[in-house]
């Protein structure tokens, strides 16, 4: 079983990631909270690159709840059909647009309860919007954060919620705003699922992953 990372090690872990990337950003392209919400809704089981290609065509034509609602299901599907599960995502997005128009004056709500009431918006999506659009220190646990929480000893847990709550408790407040993005980027490019690039890892000294991989020959 992976040893729990000690507080001093957690401090060193995030200090190192911060030094390398002081202002980490999402790799989803957006310019408004609604565009961000749309991109995150479309990103489930899809890559950010794939979502960005679709929204680069969609947003110049429709980037408000009313404009996307006016496209209708078939019209919206034409823009996002390159994304996996696009039909169900289109239905959820249209339902969300209708609720934003009817209940929130076409604005993205700034509360977890209101966000999670939107079709297709779960806890993870709400956390992303609250963090990225509104600057709240939330922790959206995707596959990368779940893996890192367990593999490194930072916040082991059997469920995403357990890992999320441990991360919120164990990460020093000074790092909370950007911790979500540091962990996502580290998981995406260094601490990868099948073959973690331990030889290229800047935080390997404090990581508790014992079966560290050697550099490729």
- For residues 146 and 184, the answer to whether their CB atoms sit within 8 Å is no
48 included as an active-site residue: no
- Of 53, 74, 142, 166, which residue is the catalytic one? 142
DSSP-derived 3-state class of residue 179: helix
CA separation for the pair 62, 31 (Å, rounded)? 13
CA distance 123 to 164: 10
Q: Please calculate the CA angle 155-158-160 and round it to the nearest 5 degrees.
A: 70
Of 124, 169, 210, 212, which is the active-site residue? 124
d(CA 198, CA 30): 32
Q: Of 172, 181, 193, 169, which Cα lies nearest the Cα of 131?
A: 181
Quick check: is 102 catalytic? no
Q: What positions carry a catalytic annotation?
A: 124, 142
């Amino acid at each position: 079983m992976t040893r729990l990372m000690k507080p001093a090690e957690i401090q060193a872990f995030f200090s190192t990631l911060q030094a390398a990337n002081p202002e980490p950003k999402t790799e989803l392209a957006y310019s408004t909270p609604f565009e961000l919400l749309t991109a995150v809704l479309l990103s489930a089981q899809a890559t950010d690159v794939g979502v960005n290609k679709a929204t680069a065509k969609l947003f110049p034509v429709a980037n408000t709840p009313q404009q996307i609602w006016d496209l209708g299901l078939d019209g919206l599907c034409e823009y996002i059909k390159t994304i996996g599960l696009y039909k169900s995502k289109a239905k959820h997005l249209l339902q969300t647009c209708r609720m934003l128009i009817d209940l929130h004056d076409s604005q993205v709500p700034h509360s977890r309860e209101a966000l999670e009431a939107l079709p297709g918006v779960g806890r993870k999506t709400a956390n992303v919007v609250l963090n990225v659009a509104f600057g709240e220190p939330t922790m959206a646990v995707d596959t990368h954060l779940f893996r890192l929480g367990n593999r490194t000893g930072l916040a082991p847990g059997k469920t995403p919620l357990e890992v999320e709550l441990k991360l919120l408790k164990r990460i020093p407040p000074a790092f909370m705003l950007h911790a979500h993005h540091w962990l996502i980027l580290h998981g995406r490019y260094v601490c990868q699922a099948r073959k973690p690039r331990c030889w290229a890892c800047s935080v390997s000294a404090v990581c508790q992953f014992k079966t560290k991989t050697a550099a490729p020959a």
